[in-house]
Amino acid sequence: MSSRQADMPVGLLADVFERIEAITSRTQMTALLVGLFKQTPPEIIDRVVYLIQGRLWPDWKGLPEIGVGEKLLVKAIALATGVTEASVEGLSKSLGDLGKAAEQLKSKSTGRSQGVTLLSYTQQRTELTVNRVYETLVRVAMAQGEGSKDIKIRLLAGLLKEASPKEAKFIVRFVEGRLRVGIGEATIMDALATIYGGGVAARPLIERAYNLRADLGEVAKILASKGLEAVKEVRPEVGTPIRPMLAERLSDPGEILEKVGGDAFIEYKYDGERAQIHKKGDKVWIFSRRLENITQQYPDVVELARNHLKADEAIVEGEIVAYDPETGELKPFQELMHRKRKHDIHSAIKEYPVKVFLFDLLYLNGHDYTVETLPVRRSKLEEVVDKVEEFTIAEYIRTNKVDELEKFFLKAISEGAEGVMVKALHGDSIYQAGTRGWLWIKFKRDYRSEMVDTVDLVVVGAFHGKGRRGGKYGALLMAAYNDEKDVFETVCKVGSGFKDEDLDKLPEILKPYMRDRRHPRVVANMEPDVWVEPALVAEIIGAELTLSPVHTCAYGKVKSDAGISIRFPRFIRWRPDKSPEDATTSNELVEMYQQQLKKITGETKPSEEA
C-alpha cells in the first residue's frame, strides 16, 4: 500500500471512462472530468491525470514503458480468470478488443467463484484504489532484465484478479496503450480550471504553466494543492523540458516582413534536429522537439554544452546538424537517424559528427528569459556561448528589406539549410512556449527541384581538406558549360562520395591543370584554394537543384539575382570519355530545374518542423 494516506477507488475512474466512451460532446466530457476531479484528493491528482493521459509519467523522463506485449497480456488475463490462453485469444478476436474480452471473462469468473461457497456471497471484494493500480503498473514497467517477463505477468494477473470486470477492461487497455477515451490535454486543463481556477478564464494561466513545465500531472498537483497563485509563479526548471515555440509559414517575403512588424532577425533554418539543451553544473540534458530525452544519442553535444555554455544553470535551444568534418559541408537530417539506430554511440560520433547552431535562450541562472523580447534573449545568448566551430550561434542577419531577406534565403539554401526563419523583434516578441504564432515565420519557398538524374560537371577549382583529409584536397568546385557564351559557370562545391583512393590520387590528377588565377573561361564568385583549368569531367548527383546567390550557372535566368546550384552534391565517378564541352550545359540545368520543380510548400519533416 502507498505511503500516501489519500486515495480513491479506481472504479470512479473506470466509471468516467465508460461514460466518456458513450458521448461525443467535448462539453459533456469536460463536465465528467470536473465531477471526477471533485472527488480526487489533491495528493493523488497527478496520478489520476497520468492515468487519464494513458501514461505513467511524461515521456521526456526517459523512464521505462510498461513493456507488456499482447502475448504477455493474454497470459496475465488467462491466469487471472482461470481460462486457457486460447480462450482469451479467441474471445479477443471475436470482440476486436482485448479489454472487452478481459471484462467478459472477469464477469464469468466472478460468477463462478461466487458459486463455490455460501461465505463468498457475503464477502466484499477488496476495492482497488488509484494508488494500488498506479504503483503496481510502475512495478510492471520497472521490471527489467532476466525473469522480468514472469514478474510482469504475475503482477498484472494479481491486479486483474482484484479488479472488477469494468476496471479490468480499462487496466488492459491502459497496458495495451489503447485507452480509447480520447481525452486531450485541453479538456483536462479546462476541467482543472473549472474546479481549481474559478472557471475557464484561468485556463491560459494553467496552459502557460504546462508549456513551461511539460508535466500536466505536476501542474495539476500544484494547482490542487497550492492554488492558482502558485501556478502563476511556475517558472522554467532545468531538467524539465519547455514546450517549444512554433512558427507559421508564408511564401511571400514582403508579407512575412509585414507580419512581423518590418524589422526582423533572418536566420538559417537548418536541416537538423531541433534540440533544447539544459545545463545544471556539469549535468546536461537534451530534449527533442517532441520533448523526448535524446541525451544518450549526443554525448558529444553534452560535452560541448559543458565546455562552451558559460552558465551554472541554462536552457538554450538550437539545431543539431550532421556535417562532413573533412569538407565542413552540412549533411541532411536523415544522417542523424544513424545516431538513433547505432548501438555503439561512440563509433556513431566518429561516423556521424554534428554541429550545434543555437538560436534562443529560455532560462539563465534563475532568470526566466521566455518573458523577454527576442533582442534581449539573443544578446544574452551571445554572451553565454563560448563559440567554437561545432557549438555556435545560428547564422543570421537583421533587416527590414525584402531583397536582403531573399538574398539571405538563397544563401541559406545554397549552404545546405532548408530555408530561413524570420523572427519579430518588437516589444511583444517573447518566447511563446507551446504556441504557434506570427512572431516566427518559416520561409521555405518552392525554389528547390528534386534531382532524379546525374549531371556531368567540370572541375574548375579545389579546396584544401580538413581533419582526416588534411594535406589533401577535400572538395572540388564544379561548373556547367555555357555553350552560348563558351564559358564554365559554377554549380556546386562537392566533397562527398569520394573514396580514400580517389582523394589520394587527386593531387596527381589535378597537377597538370592547376593555375595561380582563375581561367578566363571560368565565371565564378566563389574563390577556391586552388584554381584548375577546365579539363576534367566528373559525374555528380545531388538531393535537388536549387537557386543560389553564390553560384553563376544560368545566373539571372530563373531569378534575377541567383544561379542554379545542387544541394548535397555527391561525386559518382570520373568521366574521362567526355571533354569539358561535352559536360551538362547551363541551359540543360535550367530545363531540369523547371521540369522537375516540385511544390514543397506543404512538405515538412513531421518530427522536426519548427
Q: 202: number of CA atoms within 13 Å, CB side? A: 21
Q: Is 357 annotated among the ligand-binding residues?
A: no
Average pLDDT over residues 413-419: 85
pLDDT of residue 115: 46
Q: What percent of the chain has pLDDT over 90?
A: 67
Distance (Å, whole) CA 267 – CA 100: 53
User: What was the pLDDT predicted at 601?
Assistant: 34
Tell me the backbone φ, ψ of residue 398, rounded to 5 degrees: -115, 130
Question: Which ranges of 115-266 would DSSP assign to H, the alpha helix?
Answer: 119-122, 130-142, 148-162, 165-176, 185-196, 203-212, 216-226, 228-232, 253-259
Helices (H), 214-344: 216-226, 228-232, 253-259, 299-308, 337-341
In the block, cell 491486479 appears at 159
Q: Is 267 annotated as a binding residue?
A: yes
Local confidence band at 329 (pLDDT 50, 70, 90 cut-offs): confident
125 annotated ligand binder? no
Q: What is the mean pLDDT of residues 347-369?
A: 94
| CATH, range 449-596 | 2.40.50.140
Query: Would you name the residues annotated as active-site residues?
Result: 269
Q: What is the rounded CA–CA span in Å between residue 149 and residue 460?
A: 64
Over residues 116-162, the pLDDT tens digits come to: 444 444 445 578 999 999 999 999 999 998 899 999 999 999 999 99
273 belongs to an annotated ligand binding site: no
For cell 509563479, name the residue: 233
Confidence band of 184 (pLDDT split at 50, 70, 90): confident
Q: CB–CB of 502/421 below 8 Å?
A: no
Burial 569-578 (b: 16+ CB within 10 A, else e): bbbeeebeeb
User: What is the model's pLDDT at position 118?
Assistant: 41
Please give the C-alpha separations between residue 244 and each of 109, 311, 345, 418, 435, in angstroms, as whole numbers: 49, 21, 27, 19, 8
Question: Does the fold of domain 449-596 match that of domain 246-444?
Answer: no
pLDDT of residue 235: 95
Please tell me the predicted confidence (pLDDT) of residue 350: 87
pLDDT for residue 120:
44
Average pLDDT value over all residues in the chain? 89
Distance CA 114, CA 111 (A): 5
Angle between helical axes of 165-176 and 130-142 (0-180°, round to 10)? 30
Tell me the CATH number for domain 54-176: 1.10.3260.10
**Conformational region of residue 274, where left means phi above 0, alpha means psi within -120 to 50, and beta covers everything else:** beta
- Residue spans per domain, the chain: 54-176, 246-444, 449-596
Superfamily per CATH, domain 246-444? DNA ligase/mRNA capping enzyme (3.30.470.30)
Q: Does the annotation flag 436 for ligand binding?
A: yes
Res 111: pLDDT = 56
Q: Which residues contact 170 (CB under 8 A, 6 or more apart)?
A: 13, 14, 17, 18, 99, 179
- pLDDT at residue 415 greater than cutoff 60: yes
Q: What is the pTM of this model?
A: 0.76
Q: Give the lowest-confidence range in 122-126, 203-207, 249-253, 337-341.
A: 122-126
Q: Is 306 annotated as ligand-binding?
A: no
484-505 residue pLDDT tens? 888 999 999 999 999 888 888 9
401 is in an annotated binding site: no
The answer on pLDDT for 602 being more than 60 is: no
Please compute the mean of the pLDDT values over residues 2-9 and round it to a whole number. Answer: 72
Model confidence pLDDT, tens digit, residues 512-569: 899 889 998 899 999 999 999 999 999 999 988 999 999 999 999 998 889 999 988 9
The angle formed by the CA atoms of residues 474, 464 and 496, to the nearest 5 degrees, is 15
